[in-house]
C-alpha cells in the first residue's frame, strides 16, 4: 500500500486541521458549560453557521457523490478528515451528507427525502434497534401490515441516534413473519407527521439517543425504500457503511489527549522535577503512542480496502474493536497523568472518558466484533496472515 498523500489530499487535511483549531476548539469551554446545565452543546443555528462557513471553502457533502453536489471523497480521505474532527469533543460534522441507503431511493423519494437531507432542510434517523433486538438485528419485532395502499406500523425502537430531532425515519419492520429477516423485513420512509413519537434517553455521555414509538402509524405503499422484503439487506449496508469512521474519530481524540497529557507532565513538578521525567509517566506515554500508531494503520488499511474495492468487513471489525478498547485505555491513562485535575470538570478529559466508552457498544459491540473476526477466521474467509498473506 502506498498511502502517500497527494498535494491536494494534504491540503484537504490541513484545511480541516486548521478549521478544527480555529473554529471548533474555541467553542469547547462554552459547550462544556452548557452540557453541565443539561443544555445542547451546539445549537442548530451555531452548527449551521459553522457548516455554512465550511461550505464557503468547498467543504460540503464529504462522501456525497459530486452529481449530488458533494465532494465525493473516498474512504481514505474521509477517514483522515474524521481523525481531525475527532481532535475536539464538540459534535460537529460537515453539512451535505445523507444516509447511504437513501441513494437507493427512487426519483420521487429522492426529491422528497434525499435531496432535502443533503441540503439540510430535513433530518433523518435510522431506526432498527429495539429493546429486544440490538446486536441481534434479525430479531426485530416491529410489524407492518398492509391495508390497501397503506401499511400500518406498530412497534418500538430504542437508542436511535437523532431520533429526537428527525423529520423522518428509516424504519425497519417485519412484513412477512414466515420469511424472517431474509425476505420478510421491509424498510419504510416514515415522516414524523405520520404519527410516530420520540422520547430522549438520558445517558452517561452527551450522546442523546431516543426511543421511538409506532402505534398504528400509517404510511403509503410508495414509502417503501428499495424492495418489499429486502429491508435487511439495506440495513446491513447501512451498518457496514464505514465502521472505520468510528475508530478514526477516536484516533483523533487519543492524539489530542496524549498531547495534553505530555504538556501537563512537562509542566507539573513533584519532588523537584517534572513528572515527565518519571518512568511511570513515560511508559504510559510510550504505550499510548504505540497503540495510536497501530490504530492508525488499522483504520487506514480498512479505508484503503474500501477504496480499492476489497471486502473490508474483517479489517473494519478489527479497527472498531481495537479502537474502542485502546481509546478507553488511553483516556484512562491520560486522566491518571493529570491526577485530581483530570477527574474534575474543569478539563475535558472526564467528558472524553464518558464519551469514548460508547465506542465499545454502539454500531457493533466489542463482543460482536470479536464474534465476526473469529467466525471469518475459522471459516477460512480471512487469514491471520492478513490481506497480504
Which of the residues are catalytic? 363
Q: Which residues, listed in sequence order, are joined to residue 199 by a DSSP beta bridge?
A: 211
Question: Can you read off the three cell numbers belonging to residue 105?
Answer: 431511493
Q: Let me know: does 104 contact 98? Beta carbons within 8 Å.
A: no
Instruction: For residue 380, give the DSSP letter.
Output: T
In order, the DSSP letters of 223-292 are GEESSTTBHHHHHHHHHTS-TTHHHHHHHHHHHHHHHHHHHHHHH-EETTEEGGGSHHHHHHHHHHHHHH
Choose among 157, 162, 152: nearest CA to 125: 162
**149 Cβ contact partners less than 8 Å away, ≥ 6 residues apart:** 220, 221
CB 88 within 8 A of CB 309: no
φ, ψ of residue 365 to 5 degrees: the values are: -65, 165
* Rounded distance between C-alpha atoms, residue 22 and residue 228, angstroms: 48
Identify the residue whose cell numbers are 429522492.
110
If you ran DSSP here, which 8-state letter would residue 356 be given? H
Other CB atoms within 10 A of residue 318 CB: 24
Evaluate the CA torsion angle 227, 231, 235, 237 in order and state its sign: negative
Pairing between β-strand 124-127 and β-strand 168-174 as defined by DSSP bridges: parallel
Termini Cα distance of the chain? 14
Amino acid at each position: 500500500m502506498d498511502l502517500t498523500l497527494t498535494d491536494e489530499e494534504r491540503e484537504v487535511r490541513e484545511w480541516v486541521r486548521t478549521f478544527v483549531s480555529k473554529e471548533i476548539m474555541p467553542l469547547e469551554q462554552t459547550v462544556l458549560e452548557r452540557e453541565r446545565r443539561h443544555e445542547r452543546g451546539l445549537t442548530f443555528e451555531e452548527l449551521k453557521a459553522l457548516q455554512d462557513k465550511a461550505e464557503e471553502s468547498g467543504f460540503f457533502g464529504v462522501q456525497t457523490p459530486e452529481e449530488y453536489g458533494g465532494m465525493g471523497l473516498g474512504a481514505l480521505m474521509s477517514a483522515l478528515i474524521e481523525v481531525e474532527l475527532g481532535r475536539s469533543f464538540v459534535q460537529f460534522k460537515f453539512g451535505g451528507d445523507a444516509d447511504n441507503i437513501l441513494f437507493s431511493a427512487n426519483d420521487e423519494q429522492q426529491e422528497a427525502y434525499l435531496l432535502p437531507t443533503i441540503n439540510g432542510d430535513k433530518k433523518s434517523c435510522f431506526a432498527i434497534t429495539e429493546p429486544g433486538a440490538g446486536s441481534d438485528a434479525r430479531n426485530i419485532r416491529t410489524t407492518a401490515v398492509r391495508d390497501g395502499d397503506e401499511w400500518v406500523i406498530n412497534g418500538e425502537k430504542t437508542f436511535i441516534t437523532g431520533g429526537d430531532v428527525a423529520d423522518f425515519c428509516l424504519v425497519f419492520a417485519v412484513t412477512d413473519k414466515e420469511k424472517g429477516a431474509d425476505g420478510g423485513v421491509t424498510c419504510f420512509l416514515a415522516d414524523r407527521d405520520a404519527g410516530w413519537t420520540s422520547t430522549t434517553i438520558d445517558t452517561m455521555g452527551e450522546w442523546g439517543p431516543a426511543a421511538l414509538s409506532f402505534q398504528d402509524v400509517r404510511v403509503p405503499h410508495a414509502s417503501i425504500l428499495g424492495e418489499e422484503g429486502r429491508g435487511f439487506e439495506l440495513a446491513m449496508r447501512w451498518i457496514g457503511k464505514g465502521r472505520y469512521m468510528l475508530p478514526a474519530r477516536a484516533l483523533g481524540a487519543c492524539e489530542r489527549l496524549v498531547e495534553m497529557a505530555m504538556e501537563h507532565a512537562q509542566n507539573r513538578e513533584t519532588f523537584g522535577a517534572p513528572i515527565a521525567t518519571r518512568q511511570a509517566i513515560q511508559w504510559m506515554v510510550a504505550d499510548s503512542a504505540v497503540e495510536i500508531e497501530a490504530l492508525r494503520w488499522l483504520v487506514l488499511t480498512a479505508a484503503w480496502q474500501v477504496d480499492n474495492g476489497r471486502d473490508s468487513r474483517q479489517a473494519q471489525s478489527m479497527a472498531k474493536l481495537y479502537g474502542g478498547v485502546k481509546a478507553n485505555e488511553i483516556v484512562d491513562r491520560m486522566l491518571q497523568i493529570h491526577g485530581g485535575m483530570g477527574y474534575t470538570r474543569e478539563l475535558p478529559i472526564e467528558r472524553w472518558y464518558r464519551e469514548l466508552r460508547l465506542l465499545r457498544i454502539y454500531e457493533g459491540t466489542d463482543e460482536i466484533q470479536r464474534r465476526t473476526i473469529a467466525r471469518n477466521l475459522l471459516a477460512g474467509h480471512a487469514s491471520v496472515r492478513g490481506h497480504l498473506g
